[in-house]
A and B are shown apart, each in its own frame.
Chain A
Amino acid sequence: MSMGTTSSPTPTPAAEETFPWERVCPFQPPQSYELFQTEPIRQVTLRDSGLRTWLVTGYHNIRLLLTDPRISASRKHANFPFYFHAPPEFRTETSFIGYDEPDHGQTRGKAAVTFTNRRVKMLREQIEQITDDAIAAMLQMTPPVDMHFALSLRVPMTVICILLGIPEDKHEFFQENGTVLLGGIATMEQRQAALVDVNEYLYELVALKEREPGDDLLSRAIAEYRNAGQSYEQRDLVNLCRLLMNGGHETTASMISLGTAALLEHPEQLALLKADDSLIDPAVEELIRYLTIGDIAVPRVALEDIEIGGVTIGKGDGILCLVLTGNRDPEVYDNPNDLILSRGKRGHLGFGHGLHYCIGADLARLELQIVWSKLFKAIPTLRLAKPFEEMGSKERAVIYGLWGLPVTW
Chain B
Amino acid sequence: MAKISYVHLNGTVTVLDVPSGNSVMRGAVLNGVDGIVGQCGGGAMCGTCHVYVDEQCGVQLPPMRPVEDELLYGTASERRENSRLSCQLKITENNELDGLVVHLPEKQL
A positions within 8 Å CB-CB of B = 66-67, 105, 108-109, 112-113, 116-121, 345-347, 353-357, 359, 361-362
Contact = CB atoms under 8 A, between A and B. Distances in A.
The 10 nearest A-B residue pairs measured at CB = A117-B74, A354-B41, A118-B73, A116-B70, A357-B40, A67-B41, A346-B109, A355-B43, A112-B67, A355-B41
B46 to A, nearest CB: 6
A289 to B, nearest CB: 13
A105 B68 CA distance: 13
A281 to B, nearest CB: 11
B67 A117 contact: no
B39 interface: yes
A117 B73 CA distance: 7
B41 A105 contact: no
Interface string B29-57: 10000000111111111111000000000
B9 to A, nearest CB: 18
Nearest to A347: B109
Contacts of A119: 70
Contacts of B29: 67
25 contacts: A66-B41, A67-B42, A105-B43, A113-B67, A113-B70, A116-B67, A116-B71, A116-B73, A117-B47, A117-B73, A117-B74, A118-B74, A121-B74, A346-B48, A347-B39, A347-B109, A353-B39, A353-B40, A353-B41, A354-B41, A355-B40, A356-B43, A357-B41, A357-B43, A359-B45
A357 B45 CA distance: 8
Contacts of B43: 105, 108, 354-357
Contacts of A346: 39, 48, 109
Classify the interface of chain B: helix, strand, loop or mixed. Answer: loop
B71 to A, nearest CB: 5
B74 A112 contact: no
Nearest to A109: B67
A117 B43 CA distance: 15
B21 to A, nearest CB: 10
A118 B45 CA distance: 12
Q: Which of A116, A119, A347, A356 has the most B CB atoms < 10 Å from its CB? A: A116
Contacts of A359: 45
A2 B30 CA distance: 47
